[in-house]
Structure 1
Amino acid sequence: HHELLDGTGYPDGLRAGEISDIVRLTTIVDIYTALIEQRPYRVPFTHAKAFATMEKMEGKLDMHLLYAFRPVTFGAY
């Protein structure tokens, strides 16, 4: 769940076509969760700030899946 579309992720440095949809979605969920949860080194992001941050990751994240994920999370709060 740390592979990014541009090949800069890990552990295998996979690129877009090599990354399955489930891994793409898991990456989005993992990053989102990391942003909105309390961390010892920072306060949690708001849901809006988390998505704004992730939207800046175009080229790294699957934007179609990110935009499909957004209403699910905002609808839950």
Structure 2
Amino acid sequence: MSATILFLGPLRDLAGEAEREVSAPLDWEALLDTVGPDIAAQIKDERVNVACKGKVLADKRTLLAEDGDEVALLPPVSGG
């Protein structure tokens, strides 16, 4: 059983990959452990959203990704 973490924007550069297959189920604490300390520090920021099953979570700490789910890490959008 696995889930896919999608790294978007600058998080992709920091991760060095666009996506990563991980064991499922995946909750918030497991996500933080899986992505490593640099990305974990970034995604704890309130401006970074987490989406699961195509929906942005109102509270990312409630994450529970199951087999086949995608978890997208969505950094704030900048630009003009």
Q: Same fold (TM over 0.5)?
A: no
Q: Which has the higher helix share?
A: 1
- Higher relative CO (Cα under 8 Å, sequence separation at least 6) belongs to 2
Which one has the largest radius of gyration?
1
TM-score, normalised on structure 2? 0.29
Q: Which has the higher strand share?
A: 2
TM-score, normalised on structure 1? 0.30
